[in-house]
Amino acid sequence: MGGDDFHKGVKQPSTKLDGSALRILIVHTRWNSEIVDPLVEGSITALVNYGVKRENIILRDVPGAFELPSAALRLIRQSQGQSQNLLMGSPQVSSAMPFDAAICVGVLIKGSTMHFEYIADATSHGIMKVGLDTGVPVIFGPRIAIVYSVENWDVVERLVNELRYEFRDTYHISALNVKTSQSQSIHEVPHHIRRHYSRCQVVYAIGVVYKSSPHFEPRLMDSLSRRLGALDNLPRLFVPVIDCILVRESKEQIEEDMQKCRFAEEWAKRGVDAFNMLMPC
């Protein structure tokens, strides 16, 4: 849990990723277009950077998030049917090959009613079912929760902000998909996560602890580590919980490590990789 012998980060792929042979479908909403359009452009840029040909990235739009699963399902099955007909020699169909993956892009803004929860839940399950039914990976941006302790706030604030910027700049995840919440004590973070974040796909627990503090107790820190680890196995939560509690001797050591280590970059990649592992493939 942030010890000196712990090496953070996710192992890089053993082979270079090459998307030159892939055909990708992007289905996006027209609702909240001012936010959605930059996310679509970011998705295209990321795909092209991995070698996907621009002409093999197909864009389709729907009115709102609720329509994303049905549109993705119809378009995927249509492409699979066209490919099958082409193999059978039918001259009436397009020569388009089936989609290798689909990306669903939309933005839901939480208001004062339960509408957000109903649409978010139905859309999430619908998108997952499309992937399971078609055998094609169907991807949509994760809802992320960052729960942090206000203890040693001057350092924690920097870590939280850097993580948010990493999601925005590297993974093109909208700020509206990243929810932050504070806990007064670092030992209350697991309880806070357990109560409030069953509808997120990735949860971060962020805090900073100094061993030189008179309030530091190794026994309590061990208990905190176990409680955070146990959250991964809760049936009601069932989301990856990324433990980002940094334990160091002093503030000076934290400052030194922050100069050497890219915590936000490593943490963001861990969360996105964990989310992608849960997606149907």
Q: Annotated catalytic residue: which of 7, 28, 115, 192?
A: 115
Burial of 58 (0-12, 13-18, 19+ CB in 10 A): middle
In the block, tokens 């090959």 appear at 97
In the block, tokens 């001057």 appear at 154
CA separation for the pair 280, 267 (Å, rounded): 23
Q: Is 187 considered catalytic here?
A: no
Burial of 11 (0-12, 13-18, 19+ CB in 10 A): exposed
CA separation for the pair 142, 199 (Å, rounded): 10
- Of 242, 225, 231, nearest to 195 by C-alpha is 231
**Residue-wise burial string across 124-142, b where 16 or more C-beta atoms lie within 10 A, e elsewhere:** bebbbebbeebebbbbbbb
CA separation for the pair 80, 97 (Å, rounded): 7
- According to DSSP, the residues that pair with 203 across neighbouring strands are 145, 241
**Residue-wise burial string across 23-45, b where 16 or more C-beta atoms lie within 10 A, e elsewhere:** bbbbbbbebbeebbeebbebbbe
Residues 6+ apart with CB under 8 A from 237: 193, 194, 197, 198, 203, 231
Cα 140 to Cα 10, 28, 213, 223, distances in angstroms: 21, 10, 43, 34
Active site residues: 115
